[in-house]
Amino acid sequence: MKRSACLIFNPVAGQSDPEQDLLTIRTLLEPEIDLDIQLTTPEIDAGQLAKEAVDRGVHMIIASGGDGTLSATAEALVGTNIPLGVISRGTANAFASALGIPDAIEAACETILGGITKVVDAAMCNGKPMVLLAGIGFEAEVVEKADRESKNRLGMMAYIVAGVQQLREFETFEVTIETEEKVVTVTAAAVTIANAAPPTSILAQGPAGIIYDDGLLDLTVVAPQTRAGAVASAYHLLQTALRGDAAERDDIGYLRAQRIKVTTDPPQKVVLDGEVIGTMPIEVECVPGGLTILVPETEELEYSDKLEGLPELTVEQKLT
């Protein structure tokens, strides 16, 4: 007997031919899976379609589109135990990369057909489900500048152009980070709280190799004091992430915790899983084992915190 699944397909994602993409997916999957195909529209997004599928009692959901489509679908599945299959067709494809899922349609379909499920963490950010990360400051400004029109025209270059534009407006802010164990106050340009993040999400890569099934969140603080320092720290994060090494600059710090509260002065914009959601403060809590997803097997990684060297740093240990 065939398995069944709801396929949520975003026809405007990425820059490829959506009709050909859908045909390829159907050709690869339908011999083994009965697909209930649901297309997103400007009025009905992936999150709504996923919630409706959950209410119908589906056994599996497959999402095909960009990071917004995939994250919205995943958010609807947090805590349900319904497996999620991922077929990326977006600009950045950070969701698939973060979870080690191939972004070629054929390879992604092979992963789905292989039926290898893995329970991974999710998170809640100000009451909203979070699968990837929350970015505070620089990253949120860049995402806001890289709008849909520029991404359609430039692809990944849209983020680079937006980053250069934002660098011209380089500013720092005071940030207070509170975990279960400590309160950290520091002057920074960017703070990122990641549940999962690919190497290309460089502002999340203080520890490198974000672990997405350990019950903990990974926070990275980037605290350059000049534009030149910002460029140098970003380049360092990219190089160390690609090597799988932790950052070693004094203006980059990182820690892990199950719950994290962040406030800033002045208030900063926040981007959650690729969408700007407003301004500070935010509270993020990991939901261990909150999402069941079809992913290739990965190796275990080792990790330790690093905060020493950050400018204007104070750390207050909490009493237990």
CATH number at residue 217: 2.60.200.40
Between 157-168 and 138-145, two packed helices, what is the crossing angle to 10 degrees?
Answer: 120
Percent of the chain with pLDDT over 90: 54
Residues 17 and 83 in one domain: yes
Q: Classify residue 292: in a domain, yes or no.
A: no
Q: Classify residue 46: in a domain, yes or no.
A: yes
Q: Classify residue 298: in a domain, yes or no.
A: no
Q: Classify residue 157: in a domain, yes or no.
A: yes
More confident residue, 208 or 219: 219
> What pLDDT sits at residue 152?
60
Q: Does the pLDDT of residue 169 top 60, yes or no?
A: yes
Q: Classify residue 40: in a domain, yes or no.
A: yes
Residue range of the domain that includes 76: 3-115
Q: Classify residue 206: in a domain, yes or no.
A: yes
Residues 224 and 90 in one domain: no
Residues 31 and 7 in one domain: yes
> What pLDDT sits at residue 200?
77
C-alpha closest to that of 319 among 180, 143, 185: 180
What's the pLDDT tens digit per position in 259-294?
999 999 999 999 898 888 888 899 999 999 999 999
Residues 141 and 212 in one domain: yes
Q: What is the DSSP string of 127-194?
A: TEEESSEEEEEHHHHHHHHS-HHHHHHHTTHHHHHHHHHHHHT---EEEEEE-SSEEEEEEESEEEEE
Q: Classify residue 24: in a domain, yes or no.
A: yes
DSSP state of 76: H
Q: Does the pLDDT of residue 300 top 80, yes or no?
A: no
d(C-alpha 221, C-alpha 314), whole Å:
13
Q: Classify residue 297: in a domain, yes or no.
A: no
* The one-letter amino acid at 58: V
More confident residue, 306 or 191: 191
Overall pTM > 0.85: no
Residues 138 and 173 in one domain: yes
> What pLDDT sits at residue 157?
55
Residues 310 and 229 in one domain: yes
Averaged over 200-223, what is the pLDDT? 89
> What pLDDT sits at residue 183?
96
Residues 134 and 14 in one domain: no
Q: How confident is the model at residue 9 (pLDDT cuts 50, 70, 90)?
A: very high
Residues 145 and 103 in one domain: no
Q: How confident is the model at residue 211 (pLDDT cuts 50, 70, 90)?
A: confident
Averaged over 143-168, what is the pLDDT? 58
Residues 167 and 99 in one domain: no
17: CATH: 3.40.50.10330
Least confident of 84-88, 174-178, 219-223, 239-243: 239-243
Which residue among 81, 115, 149 closes a domain? Answer: 115
What is the average pLDDT score of the chain?
Answer: 87
Q: Does the pLDDT of residue 166 top 70, yes or no?
A: no
What's the pLDDT tens digit per position in 65-111?
998 899 899 989 999 999 999 999 987 788 888 888 998 999 999 99
Q: Does the pLDDT of residue 256 top 90, yes or no?
A: yes
Which residue among 56, 85, 115 closes a domain? Answer: 115
- Provide the domain count of the chain: 2
Residues 244 and 106 in one domain: no
Structure tokens at 185: 């106050």
In our burial notation (b when 16+ CB lie closer than 10 A, e otherwise), range 92-109 reads bbbbbbbbbbbbebeebb
Which residue among 92, 115, 138 closes a domain? Answer: 115
More confident residue, 320 or 32: 32
> What pLDDT sits at residue 17?
95
> What pLDDT sits at residue 258?
97
Residues 111 and 133 in one domain: no
Residues 103 and 214 in one domain: no
